[in-house]
Amino acid sequence: MTTHLTAGQRALLQAELELRQRQLSRQLEVHQEGRSRVEHARDVLAQDFDDAPQRAMDREVDMALSEIDTQELAAVGRALARVQADDYGLCVDCGGGIPFDRLKVEPQALRCVACESRREQGR
């Protein structure tokens, strides 16, 4: 059990994760106008612009933005599952507690600052 986070801190972070999950879901729904990602990409590509290279670039940007939102939504969902499994707030690398201040900034964080720094330097 994550003893480094109080029940109040966990509840606050869970509420923030749930809010972000709703925001991302709505954002993707509005952006894709209720269509699948593939249908939306096809529609962007098929738009009647005069400049085919610009249309292709617009499609790539559109798909990249959708992918970023989709990845964040998945990370938020995994964080909410960790809250329920009671291992939320523990670093996946060292097992130590992720500080509350870090989780306030990035509630879906998987690693403590030291482990995340090592991971980023290894890239």
The structure tokens listed for 104 are 């306030």
pTM of this prediction exceeds 0.95? no
Q: Of 38 and 1, which is predicted with more confidence?
A: 38
Q: Where are the domains of the chain?
A: 7-87
pLDDT of residue 2: 45
**19: Cβ–Cβ under 8 A, 6 or more apart, which residues?**
none
Q: Is the distance from CB of 44 to CB of 55 less than 8 angstroms?
A: yes
Give the position of tokens 């209720």: 34
Residue 63 has pLDDT above 90, yes or no: no
Collapsed DSSP state (helix, strand, coil) of residue 97: strand
